[in-house]
Structure 1
Amino acid sequence: MRKNAIAYDQLYALLRPAVWHKTVLEVATGTGQVAKHLLCSADHIEATDVSAAMIAQAKRGNFSSKLYFSVQDMFHLPYADQSFDVVIVSNALHIVPHPEKALIEFRRVLKNGGTLIAPTFTHAENSPWGNLQALALKIAGFPLHSRWTSAAYLAFLQQNGWTVCKSVVLQNSIPLTYAECKKVERR
């Protein structure tokens, strides 16, 4: 657990300057852990998840007017085009069927020149312990739809029209590849 805590502390340290004084959308927020850690850095955070139970849990203890939680589907977001400076999807693209479709929706709600931050587990680089954890996640209802290496994940983002500006592999029980991307205008 200490190893995972260190990776998450590193993740928050990478995220804070990227969201500084920005309007942020976090999709697949789960319990809201990431959004709550960024509250002092961002100007406003919309944090969404498809699960009403997760959003109910995330709302507990949130008394900030800068952080709003809601139930939303990442494939059909209710926000206007170019609404956010930053979109964060943390630890989710590997369990989403057709993640390339989610990337299209993120592009739509992200302002021109905006930043997509998409850290995700890169299971193909797992140790035997990581493989066991991946199996446990699948049994718990989080099937892996994508088993990327870090390099394959970054290539996937680039193939889907994103310019990867920064990437770091955070050592965790399952390696976590942090990817910070700029929205590239399609011609």
Structure 2
Amino acid sequence: MKNRRNFWDRTAIIYDRFMRRDAAAYDRMYALLRPVVRDKTVLELAAGTGLIAKHIANAAEYIEVTDASEQMIRQAERENHAENLHFSVQDMFCLPYADAAFDVVIISNALHIVPQPERALHEIKRVLKNDGVLAAPTFTHAENSFSGKSRAFLMRLAGFPLHSRWTSGEYLAFLTENGWTVRKSIVLQASFPLTYVECEKSEV
């Protein structure tokens, strides 16, 4: 955990610049998320610099914006003008929130970079209401083109953590195997294929 956090601490200051290349895909994702979070209490995990939360804040009632990296959260707090956003450093595997505390949980582009992502899904299920929604868009690297695979290789050399390589279908199967019902999935075109997913608990 410490090495992964150090990587994100080091890259926090350039994170937004790096994400600009996928601005069109993220704009599409914001549009998909706004109706999901409308008037809802939301938890975002692995939020990075808060790009998603800041773009959908006007739709949600409240968003708890969290990341394991203190530097990412410091970046996220800058230029924040939304009163319904609260920022904190949290470990997605051990959250301080009560059971069934949130209507929506968002974890974007993170499940493929953490070891034992099923543990994160178990903790998400605990803090999510029984009728709540998990939005879990994730880069599905196994569908990369040759150029995408080359970029992923260079990113790993730079220290980027990549623990799971799924195709879109494999990712959806992983979610289903871990107690989720997929209600919507769309593959967005980005630097790497981005599988946008909305899920509900399949076991209540």
Amino acid at match of 1:28: A
Aligned equivalent of 1:172, options 173, 186, 190:
190
> Helix, strand or coil for the counterpart of 1:86?
strand
CA contact (8 A) 1:167 1:180 kept: yes
The residue aligned with 2:63 is: 45
Name stretches of at least 5 consecutive residues in structure 1 with no aligned partner: none
Higher mean C-alpha displacement, 40-49 vs 59-68: 59-68
Q: How many aligned positions are there?
A: 186
Which residues in structure 2 correspond to 1:118-129 (within 5 Å)?
118-129=136-147
Partner of 1:57: 75
| Counterpart code for 1:112 | N
Q: CA deviation at 1:172?
A: 1.0
Equivalent of residue 42 in structure 2, options 9, 17, 24: 24
* Pairwise CA RMSD: 1.4
Contact 1:28 1:92 (8 Å CA) reproduced: yes
Tell me if structure 2 keeps the 8 A contact 1:19–1:42: yes
CA distance in 2 between counterparts of 1:106 and 1:130 reads 30
Task: Choose between structure 1 and 2: higher helix proportion.
Answer: 2
Provide TM-score, normalisation by structure 2. 0.88
| 1:98 equivalenced with 2:116 (yes/no) | yes
SS of 1:113's equivalent? strand
Q: Any stretches of 5+ residues in structure 2 without a counterpart?
A: 1-18
User: After the TM superposition, which residues 79-118 of structure 1 pair with which residues of structure 2 at under 5 Å, given as runs?
Assistant: 79-118=97-136
Q: Secondary structure of the equivalent of 1:93?
A: coil
Q: Which of 16, 25, 34 is the aligned partner of 1:7?
A: 25
Give me the TM-score of the superposition, normalised by structure 1. Answer: 0.96
- 2:203 aligned residue: 185
Which residue identity is paired with 2:44?
A: E
1:5 to partner: Cα distance: 1.9
Q: Is the 8 A contact 1:19 1:41 kept in 2?
A: yes
Question: CA offsets, 1:129-161, max 9 Å, x none?
Answer: 211221233233322100000000000000000
**Mapped contact 2:180–2:203 kept (Cα < 8 A):** no
> Which amino acid in the other structure matches residue 126 of structure 2?
R
Sequence identity (%) = 66
> Is it true that 1:34 corresponds to 2:52 in the alignment?
yes
- Partner of 2:91, secondary structure, is coil
